[in-house]
Structure 1
């Protein structure tokens, strides 16, 4: 049994495209996941499964597409992988609520940093399958565009820390 963390992309907690976390838990259980827990209403779920990471992703994305009527991207990490994301944060000395990891399905392309536009006070670094961003002036007025992050989903380091902790217990 492996503990996984699923991070949904573009989950809306209100308005159109709303996905109640109770529905997300039910979807996970319907594909055989156990010990299912959601964290804040933004598409974070921790669970155990005997399925492979690829199978979990495929089955969960199929459930979500059926529910939403459109594709919903899901990034999957194991507990140790999430712990490694937290440990690899190159901006550890900055406020965790101003630093995010953007989770991708593959390593960031080699030209990721060269393709960035609108960078002001933000710092950007590449991880294994993540892009780390520290928003020095906060996210409210950023003009930062990272084309490689288009299909990713971001979580601040407070959320990454909590999910890592949950996956370890």
Structure 2
């Protein structure tokens, strides 16, 4: 059975470092035997179809191919359409009423529980808030991610120290659901 996935690459094409041109990424994925490859933006999203492997196996295969081709390691998460759609539908914030720059999802390589966030004084960051999903964290940052004190605090606390984590704004979350559902 063929499944449609999104590959989320962490930290490429940011500030001129770790460049991975999207045309080259598409060619690389096609060379791995993945089908119907498309990319979204320059910040590391690719959609493809595969009839083999699981999310973790595909992520490792893609990460290895990127390191071989480009000479540097990249963290890769792979998620299927059903999961991406479930994350979007489970959003605990009123996404339709917010600007895309105000709402973000951090996807994790494994489950995240509340114990990772013990000791965070949530009231100190209001009106910014975060809520947890199973392998996702929803962040409401009314002034955007770049000005978010909570996002900065979460990254400094290294709550994801043993997990791969990558964040996407709400427009990208919705677009990936759309692209993987086609």
TM-score (norm 2): 0.85
Counterpart of 1:159 in structure 2 is 172
**1:121, distance to aligned residue in structure 2 (A):** 3.0
Counterpart of 1:136 in structure 2 is 142
- The answer as to whether partners of 1:125 and 1:132 remain within 8 angstroms in 2 is yes
Distance 2:130 2:113 in 1: 14
Counterpart of 2:11 in structure 1 is 10
Distance 1:130 1:7 in 2: 13
Deviates more, 1:4-13 or 1:146-155: 146-155
TM-score (norm 1): 0.91
- 1:145-168 CA deviation, whole Å, 9 max, x = no partner? 222245310011111111101111
User: Which runs of 5 or more residues in structure 1 are unaligned?
Assistant: none
Counterpart of 1:119 in structure 2 is 125
- The answer as to whether partners of 1:64 and 1:72 remain within 8 angstroms in 2 is yes
- The answer as to whether partners of 2:113 and 2:132 remain within 8 angstroms in 1 is no
Counterpart of 1:48 in structure 2 is 49
- 1:107-149 CA deviation, whole Å, 9 max, x = no partner? 1133233254783531100011001101022223222222224
Alignment of 1:13-92 (within 5 A): 13=14, 15-52=16-53, 53-92=55-94
Counterpart of 1:168 in structure 2 is 181
How many residue pairs end up in the alignment? 169
Distance 1:110 1:141 in 2: 24
Q: Which has the higher helix share?
A: 2
Deviates more, 1:43-52 or 1:90-99: 90-99
RMSD between aligned alpha carbons? 1.8
Deviates more, 1:123-132 or 1:102-111: 102-111
